Amino acid sequence: ETGVTQSPTHLIKTRGQQVTLRCSSQSGHNTVSWYQQALGQGPQFIFQYYREEENGRGNFPPRFSGLQFPNYSSELNVNALELDDSALYLCASSFGGDVQETQYFGPGTRLLVL
Amino acid sequence: KQEVTQIPAALSVPEGENLVLNCSFTDSAIYNLQWFRQDPGKGLTSLLLIQSSQREQTSGRLNASLDKSSGRSTLYIAASQPGDSATYLCAASFLDSWGKLQFGAGTQVVVTP
């Protein structure tokens, strides 16, 4: 059984650019959630995808968007990058549905916006 | 507004001492509460998940309790070791935002040899 993987591990972008982060969920999981963790803070919920549909969104602007694919892997896209977008981006997979199970996190992608 | 708070922000204990980490939440309509460990620059490792119908969960040296009426969860780590040094985060999933984890800011723990 493979765990949650994310790519790339590190990324440097400049303000105004666009970025795509990728997440492969753990085998058997159908739900992916994305979180943003600024330095010294707890992760903040961005959104969740369940069976390819958005299933809840946190307090993030529309320039944060996502996709979930039929194999339940996922992408997070951020347009018009701002300096404050610099953070560790974490994805978590779980088996969702009628019962919310433990969320398993990937190692994260560290994004630096200059 | 639903909030999750962890106090203190940092803690240092000598090896062998028991660790007690606190987590409080403002809304008793909780679905479950999860404790995580985070090593510097790394992702989160799930330690324990407590469903709202449970009062505690145990795994090895770790024990977590949940008291919905007082809005508190406590993580106990027995006989701490230097390898336990990390940041510990609690996260609540509330009934009206099911699936969304609301995190505390974490408690940074240092266990000195």
pLDDT of residue A1: 52
Cross-chain residue pair B105–A35, CB shorter than 8 Å: no
pLDDT of residue A20: 98
pLDDT of residue A112: 97
| Choice between A72 and B105, residue whose per-residue pLDDT is larger | B105
Burial of A66 (0-12, 13-18, 19+ CB in 10 A): buried
Chain A: give the shortest CA distance to residue B81, in Å. 23
pLDDT of residue B55: 93
Residue ranges of chain A with per-residue pLDDT less than 70: 1-2, 97-100
- Stretch B50-79: mean pLDDT, rounded? 95
What the block records as the tokens of B3 is: 């909030």
DSSP 3-state of A65: strand
Query: Of all residues in chain B, what percent carry a pLDDT higher than 70?
Result: 99
pLDDT of residue A97: 63
Q: What is the mean pLDDT of chain B?
A: 93
What the block records as the tokens of A1 is: 């059984």
Report how many Cβ contacts below 8 Å link chain A to chain B.
66
Residues 6+ apart with CB under 8 A from B29: B94, B95, B96
pLDDT of residue A96: 74
Cross-chain residue pair A90–B34, CB shorter than 8 Å: no
Spatial contact of B3 and B56, defined as CB atoms under 8 Å apart: no
Which residue among A6, A42, A94 places its CB closest to the CB of B103?
A: A42
Cross-chain residue pair B34–A41, CB shorter than 8 Å: no
Cross-chain residue pair A103–B101, CB shorter than 8 Å: yes
- Stretch B91-105: mean pLDDT, rounded? 86
Give the range among A12-21, B17-26, B40-49, B83-92 with minimum mean pLDDT: B40-49
Question: Nearest 5°: CA angle at A42, between A40 and A43?
Answer: 120
